């Protein structure tokens, strides 16, 4: 089953868990100049791409907010906290095993052009493009969310559509209706291993 085809592209250089290297001590925060939200968001995206290029998947995944991404994929479906955790773990495994290798193919040794980040409250969007194989221009955008003072990739936009929206309506919702949440989690885990 070709589960989350768009998710692969959507996560080309993004990550969703809650662990990012960030300044945590007052001493570090007081001695460094204040960095704008725009600079922080762009830095998160560039770090993610660097980690993917060097196959540092744990560090790359730490820049992805898997919780927010999973929440958008699940939509209005009511699931238990244990099922949510299991779903997030399956999505994390899928990102590392499927999305990051696809991202590496697109971003390895290719320069990415970034638009100026657009920050509104705790949300940000960074339009980007690459020239793939020297002639195909691919345009996309990173969607970031701020959580506890750090910025994380929480979605990906291509052709004006969010990855989570496309994957929810085309893959997750039909699978939950047909297989239930446990069956859907199982399919994600299976897809992550193949």
For the stretch 23-44, pLDDT in tens is 333 333 343 468 999 999 999 9
Query: Confidence class of residue 138 from pLDDT cuts 50, 70 and 90?
Result: confident
Indicate if the pLDDT at residue 169 is higher than 90. Answer: yes
Instruction: Show the domains of the chain with their CATH numbers.
Output: 37-193 (3.10.450.710)
Give the mean pLDDT of the chain: 84
Distance CA 13, CA 38 (A): 18
- Quick one: residue 4, left, alpha or beta (phi over 0 = left, psi -120 to 50 = alpha)? left
Averaged over 78-96, what is the pLDDT? 97
Sign of the alpha-carbon dihedral angle for 65, 113, 164, 188: negative
pLDDT at 140: 94
Q: What is the pLDDT of residue 34?
A: 87
Report the share of the chain in percent with pLDDT over 70: 83
Give buried/exposed letters for 134-154 (b at 16+ CB in 10 A, else e).
eeeebebbbbbbbeeebbbbb
Look up residue 160 and give its two tokens: 């004006």
**In this model, does residue 9 exceed pLDDT 80?**
no
Of residues 57 and 2, which shows the higher confidence score? 57
Predicted local confidence at residue 20, as pLDDT: 31
Mean pLDDT of 138-155: 96
Q: What is the pTM of this model?
A: 0.80
The reported pLDDT for the residue numbered 137 is: 85
| pLDDT of 13 above 50 | no
Of 170, 188, 139, 164, nearest to 11 (Cα)?
A: 164
For range 133-149, the mean pLDDT? 90
**Mean pLDDT value of segment 176-187:** 97
Lowest mean pLDDT, pick from 71-85, 93-107, 139-153: 93-107
């Amino acid at each position: 089953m070709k589960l989350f085809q768009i998710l692969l592209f959507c996560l080309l250089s993004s990550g969703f868990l809650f662990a990012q290297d960030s300044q945590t001590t007052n001493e570090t925060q007081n001695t460094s100049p204040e960095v704008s939200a725009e600079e922080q968001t762009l830095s998160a995206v560039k770090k993610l791409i660097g980690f993917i290029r060097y196959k540092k998947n744990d560090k790359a995944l730490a820049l992805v907010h898997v919780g927010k991404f999973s929440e958008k994929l699940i939509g209005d479906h009511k699931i238990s906290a244990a099922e949510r955790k299991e779903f997030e773990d399956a999505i994390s495994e899928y990102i590392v095993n499927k999305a990051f290798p696809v991202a590496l193919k697109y971003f390895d040794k290719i320069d990415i052009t970034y638009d100026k980040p657009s920050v509104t409250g705790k949300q940000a969007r960074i339009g980007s493009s690459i020239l793939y194989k020297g002639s195909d221009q691919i345009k996309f955008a990173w969607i970031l969310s701020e959580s506890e003072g750090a910025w994380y990739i929480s979605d990906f936009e291509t052709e004006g559509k969010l990855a989570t929206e496309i994957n929810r309506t085309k893959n997750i919702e039909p699978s939950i209706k047909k297989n239930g949440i446990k069956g859907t989690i199982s399919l994600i885990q299976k897809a992550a291993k193949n």
